Structure 1
Amino acid sequence: MAGASATGVLSQLSLLEVKARSRKTQPQQQSRVKELKAKVEALRAQRDQLKAEIETHKHLQKLRASLDKQSTNEEEEEEEMEQDSEHSQLLQLMARHTQLEDLLYAHHTIGGYDVIKTRQGKGVCVSLATAYDGVFLETYNLEIDLKPTLRISRHNVPPFIPLNSLAEQNNLQTNIRTFLDTLSRHLNAFAARKQQLELVKELHKSVQVMESNVLCSILVLMFNVPKQKTAVLCTLDYSDHTRSLPTRVHFESEDEKLPDSPEWKKNCSLLKETPVHKALITMKKMGNIV
């Protein structure tokens, strides 16, 4: 009887232990279920975000292709989008912004331009460095607003460079690459002409600079000719402001036959094809000028 009683007590204790374990396991299972549900919700949110990013990326690619290629078909596709919707306008702004950043970064990598964001991404500042003969010279800056349209708000480009005309002629809104390239050619050509003038003054003391303008597009020099013992007035006309070489060279002298002589015709060609300070060195070596 005592053995049976002991067995019954042990069985009852085992049953109570099983129930106690079951009660402990239930909260753990419930906690695990909640954890898994939260993870599922997070994954769903991440999935939805990725879908939205993919759609946005597709729209951006479409708009950027239209901005880059400017083809008629792409313009028609762009018009099919809801132009009046806030979402569409935001996408266009993002496309224009990313196109501008990528374009300017590419130019910077080849020594062209540098760009930084301004006003919390509402604008960008573009830097255009100038150089001549391997020497870096002045750097010019443009601050461009991105919204609602591309607009140059501030700059330090010299006033004699036709900035607004260049922006209109090259269509800043749709072809910023061409605009920046053209502006860079104007600035680098001006810097080169200015540097050549400084080198003439520094290296050729016997050559007198009679006249020049702020754009350095007109340069009048006076040479002394040793053989004829006469002076020659040389006018260099840089009518193409995107180049650093003159488009026209004109000589004047008391000896009217001198400008038409074969020797001075060669000098004329030399000045058209060679930077003026280097051409003068050659002319001195040939004994044409003092």
Structure 2
Amino acid sequence: MEAPGGVLSQLCALEVKARSRKAQPRQRSRVKELRARVVALTAQRDLLRADIQALKDIQKRRTRLEERGDGDEDGTESEDPEKSQLLQLMARQTQLKELLHAHHVIGGYDVVQTRQGKGMCVTLTTAYEGTYLDSFNLEIELKPTLRISRHNVPPFIPLSGLGDLQADIRGFLDTLGTHLNAFAGRKHQLRLVKELHTSIQVMESNVLCSILVLMLTVPTKTMAVLCSMDYTDHARCLPTRVCFHCQDEELPDSPKWKNNTSLLMETPVHKALATMKMMGHIV
């Protein structure tokens, strides 16, 4: 007859085995999720490296042009005239962007007096990833109190809820600039999606660009996937919620598509879609 201690040891061993078997599926799922995350981060890294290399090439060409001078046509380089002119334009454009960026960083606003000093017109210029976009203007009456008389700010941005114009005009303009930049950035991303991703159909969007629904196609199953993106924080260019809907109910909860959700919430939509295409998740 076997000792009681031996029976207890066997029972403990069986319990440990049972627990390890239950843990194995969770571990495998976690490993798949981590591997998919590694693939996504690797694709992002490759895109960033390509962008950095392109910026380095432009900077080298700009430095070379500045050393030669705008009017120097000594012919020491083997570039044709059209390419040389293009490089000069690129260098000049870079200089202007840097000046505009410096003006924006120091909090400068373009202000013009109006109505013989009784008012002023403030211009706010929006930009996204180095691309300058739309400009918006406010005409402000100075007397007897500060009051916005005219403006071309979109009506869905409530000026009354952005701060106290009387007590802190700088804070008001900063908050307004943040909302305008976010709106212009979302609008620019939508434009890039339509231009760069012709295989992806934009099913729905609104004037504020706070709702975006895309029709994606999974290549392995030739299945359509609806991607719904909500931008509830109107002061940001990135969505606060991303949802996938398709016939395969298990697909949105898979590690691969959970990583796609994180990617879309952390990366501009046109870049996130490029990464998803590179990984073979969509067509």
* 1:156 pairs with 2:152: yes
User: How many angstroms apart in 2 are the aligned matches of 1:152 and 1:284?
Assistant: 47
TM-score by length of 2: 0.62
Q: Measure the CA separation in 2 of the matches of 1:155 and 1:276.
A: 30
Is residue 152 of structure 2 the alignment partner of residue 135 of structure 1? no
Aligned residues: 182
1:121 aligned partner, one-letter code:
G
**Is 1:194–2:190 an aligned residue pair?**
no
Q: Partner of 2:276 in structure 1?
A: 283
CA distance in 1, matches of 2:259, 2:235: 25
Using the TM superposition, give the Cα deviation of residue 164 of structure 1 relative to its aligned residue in structure 2, in angstroms.
2.4
2:252 match: secondary structure: helix
Q: How does 1:121-270 map to 2 (within 5 A)?
A: 121-166=117-162, 170-270=163-263
Structure with the larger helix share: 1
Deviations 1:5-31 (A, max 9, x none): xxxxxxxxxxxxxxxxxxxxxxxxxxx
Q: Deviations over 1:176-225 (max 9, x none)?
A: 11111110011000000000000000000110000000000000001000
Counting only pairs closer than 5 Å after superposition, residues 54-93 of structure 1 correspond to structure 2 as none
Q: Deviations over 1:98-145 (max 9, x none)?
A: xxxxxxxx9767365210111111111000000111111110000001
Q: Distance in 2 between matches of 1:213 and 1:199?
A: 16
Partners of 1:108 and 1:126 in 2: how far apart? 13
Is this contact kept in 2: 1:112–1:129, CA < 8 A?
A: no
Q: Which whole-Å CA distance do the structure 1 matches of 2:107 and 2:142 have between them?
A: 24
Letter of the structure 1 residue corresponding to residue 226 of structure 2:
L
Alpha-carbon separation, structure 1, partners of 2:179 and 2:105: 20
Q: 2:110 aligns with which of 104, 109, 114?
A: 114
Partners of 1:112 and 1:128 within 8 A in 2: no
Amino acid at match of 1:183: L
- How far apart, CA to CA, are the structure 2 residues paired with 1:229 and 1:108? 47
Q: Distance in 2 between matches of 1:286 and 1:111?
A: 41
Alpha-carbon shift at residue 162 of structure 1 (Å): 1.0
Q: Deviations over 1:243-276 (max 9, x none)?
A: 0000000110100000000000000000000000
Q: Which runs of 4+ in 1 moved over 4 A?
A: 106-109
**Alpha carbons of structure 1 residues 201 and 112: separation in structure 2 relative to 1, 3 Å:** farther
- Flag the 1:182–1:109 CA change in 2: closer, same or farther, 3 A: closer
Counterpart amino acid of residue 234 in structure 2: H
- Cα distance in 1, alignment partners of residues 155 and 105 from structure 2: 28
Alpha-carbon spacing, 1:252–1:127, altered in 2? closer, same or farther (3 Å) = same
- Structure 2: unaligned runs, 5 residues or longer: 1-101
Q: Distance in 1 between matches of 2:268 and 2:276?
A: 12
Q: TM-score, normalized by length of structure 1?
A: 0.61
Aligned partner letter, 1:143? E
Find the residue that maps to 1:210 and give its secondary structure. strand
Return closer, same or farther for 1:160/1:112 CA change in 2, 3 Å cut-off.
farther
Give the 3 Å change call, closer, same or farther, for CA 277–109 of structure 1 in structure 2. closer
Equivalent AA in structure 1 for residue 113 of structure 2: K
For residues 149 and 220 of structure 1, the distance between their equivalents in structure 2, rounded to whole angstroms, comes to 44
* CA distance in 1: counterparts of 2:272 and 2:129, whole angstroms: 15
Q: State whether residues 226 and 289 of structure 1, in contact with CA within 8 Å, keep that contact through their aligned partners in structure 2.
A: yes
- Aligned-partner Cα distance in 2 for 1:150–1:261: 55
CA deviation after TM superposition for structure 1 residue 228, in Å: 2.1
Letter of the aligned partner of 1:280 in structure 2? Answer: L
Q: 1:112 to 1:255 in 2, by over 3 A?
A: farther
Q: Which runs of 5+ in 1 are unaligned?
A: 1-105
Structure 1 CA distance for aligned equivalents of residues 159 and 272 of structure 2: 32
Amino acid aligned to 1:246: P
Aligned partners of 1:244 and 1:275 also within 8 Å: yes
Identical pairs, percent: 73
